[in-house]
Structure 1
């Protein structure tokens, strides 16, 4: 179920721990072209299959299904604070922050960059959807600023797998726009054409804001365990998930 998973025990915190992970396609019930653990409800897959996959993810995280929080992602810069399950439809946003424990925040991607931020000492975690539009619009710095206003002082981030620069060929003007937001995002594709490394841009923004970064390796287009719109077109979505546990640690075995 998990492509990568870890439990983080920050030094000097109140005893809380943070679980972070990025799902893979194994152990899911979706049929082609979404076969595997598709968690995206907006890609044409059978809603019952998607819900079964989401319920399985919640069970693996040790939370009830309603405490696994998804957003209605729109490639914007809306940041929402949440302290429990949605009371109705999921908010239209590309970042969600919580100070609650045992509330799992999820970000869906299929080439975009999933960013998981945490400050266990301040009791805050966040999940961020950073595609090319979000990176160039500064969604990640906005979340960092909001979390610091809420009391975060030792922010750290885990940046998940996404499409790599050599696989993300774009028109030259688009590449230049990305470079204006983060110079390290400007790169070249396999064939030498203009390209964007969105994750490199996100990491540059985080580092520039003094956030400690762990960058999980892997290109979604090159790795069959990850969904990739660039590779497959019609496809599913994998997730980055983060949850804070108060004063106890639940084992998170690698899968």
Structure 2
């Protein structure tokens, strides 16, 4: 069994410890083969704990200082301050985590949605954001940036990690119409696909939202759908008729 983790990093965040972890190097098997870090998956709980422990070690924090929330595609953001109970945050329904603590790594789980890691190293603020289409149009990106600024961030940089690319993200006409009703400027993120249906550019939309919020941002340009050896993908698992899927983890710390 391969135990060497594969951790993707980006030069834009070179001043902080961060990583977009692929599925390589994990203890899970079957549908979840590799580094499945999703507690809410049907994977064996002890294997998920082993995987998360490996991530915590790679991030240089104790296992119980790898902070995640109960993601619900919302625009809710939690700020983890000194003295806060890290374990309690795990059950809070939210999709963004901000911290100024140096003993914690904040993380999000994804399987096609955007994992966004953000940092202002000089101000000592980092954040992790889970932004699928629903969260992105609902304002989770802006809410995360606002929460960072409320604790002192002024010059924020962000990287969108592995996510589903436009060439793999076919949606329906109703999806496009509803999306554009929420944000008329989003039309440019849809194009015609090979089946005549719209194809949605999720990372392009995320980059626009980040940059409009005054954040310097890039996408890692890794597509979760098209690389099954490295990434879990909800859409790929669904199309293949699988009953569940693994969750990738992305983490950042000061």
TM-score, length basis structure 2: 0.88
Q: CA RMSD in A?
A: 1.8
What is the alpha-carbon distance in structure 1 between the residues aligned to residue 95 and residue 17 of structure 2? 20
Q: How many residues align?
A: 238
Q: 1:7 to 1:199 in 2, by over 3 A?
A: closer
- Cross-structure match for 1:209: 213
- Cross-structure match for 1:61: 59
Higher fraction of helix:
2
Q: 1:4 aligns with which of 8, 18, 22?
A: 8
What is the alpha-carbon distance in structure 2 between the residues aligned to residue 3 and residue 227 of structure 1? 14
Secondary structure (helix, strand or coil) at the match of 2:117 reads: strand
Give the drift of 1:3: 4.2
- Cross-structure match for 2:241: none
Give the drift of 1:103: 0.9
Moved >2 Å (runs of 4+)? 5-10, 176-182, 184-192
What is the alpha-carbon distance in structure 1 between the residues aligned to residue 17 and residue 77 of structure 2? 21
Give the drift of 1:189: 3.4
- Cross-structure match for 1:242: 252
Q: Please state if 1:134 is matched with 2:135.
A: yes
CA contact (8 A) 1:118 1:126 kept: yes
What is the alpha-carbon distance in structure 1 between the residues aligned to residue 45 and residue 78 of structure 2? 25
- Cross-structure match for 1:248: none
What is the alpha-carbon distance in structure 1 between the residues aligned to residue 31 and residue 226 of structure 2? 17
What is the alpha-carbon distance in structure 1 between the residues aligned to residue 176 and residue 72 of structure 2? 21
Q: 1:89 to 1:144 in 2, by over 3 A?
A: closer
Q: Please state if 1:188 is matched with 2:198.
A: no
Matches within 5 A, 1:47-196: 47-83=45-81, 84-88=84-88, 90=90, 91-179=92-180, 180-181=182-183, 183=186, 184-196=188-200
TM-score, length basis structure 1: 0.87
Q: 1:200 to 1:34 in 2, by over 3 A?
A: same
Q: Please state if 1:226 is matched with 2:236.
A: no
Give the drift of 1:68: 0.5
CA contact (8 A) 1:165 1:188 kept: no
- Cross-structure match for 1:41: 39
Give the drift of 1:86: 1.8
- What are the ranges of 5 or more consecutive residues in structure 1 without an aligned counterpart? 11-16, 245-255
Deviations 1:174-233 (A, max 9, x none): 123334435243233343411222111110011112210121011100012000011113
- What are the ranges of 5 or more consecutive residues in structure 2 without an aligned counterpart? 239-243
| Greater alpha carbon shift after TM alignment, 53-62 vs 190-199 | 190-199
